[in-house]
Amino acid sequence: MKLLNVKELAKVLNVSPGTIYYWISRDEIPYIEFGRHKRFSLEVILNHFASETEKKTLRKINVELYMPDESSFTTEYRQEQADESGAKTSSNKEDSYGNN
């Protein structure tokens, strides 16, 4: 297993070395430390990104499953608003002079 340094990994992933250091600072990427030097296994990195992508996809699917359809929500909301305003106007009918 070959270990890559920051510049090599950045080139393989097509990102800047600064991005790699940012990921390191946030513990978003697995690495091996030799003193102050960081090394990366490409196989481990690729598996890590694959699993993170899968987690995000599953989270998105779960959110979509449990979120009501926006169009039905707005239709239901509009119906509730119409019912409430209709109830108010029928029980509180006043003419333009304030008489019941």
Tokens of 45: 């990195």
Return the pLDDT at 52: 83
Residue closest to 40 by CA, chosen among 64, 74, 11:
11
Domains of the chain: 3-71 (1.10.10)
- Split at pLDDT 50, 70, 90, the class of 50 is confident
Model pTM score? 0.55
Q: For the chain, give the mean pLDDT.
A: 78
**Backbone conformation region of residue 54, classed left if phi is above 0, alpha if psi is from -120 to 50, else beta:** alpha
CA–CA separation, 52 vs 30, rounded Å?
12
Tokens of 38: 């960081």
Tokens of 66: 């449990």
Residue 70 has pLDDT above 80, yes or no: no
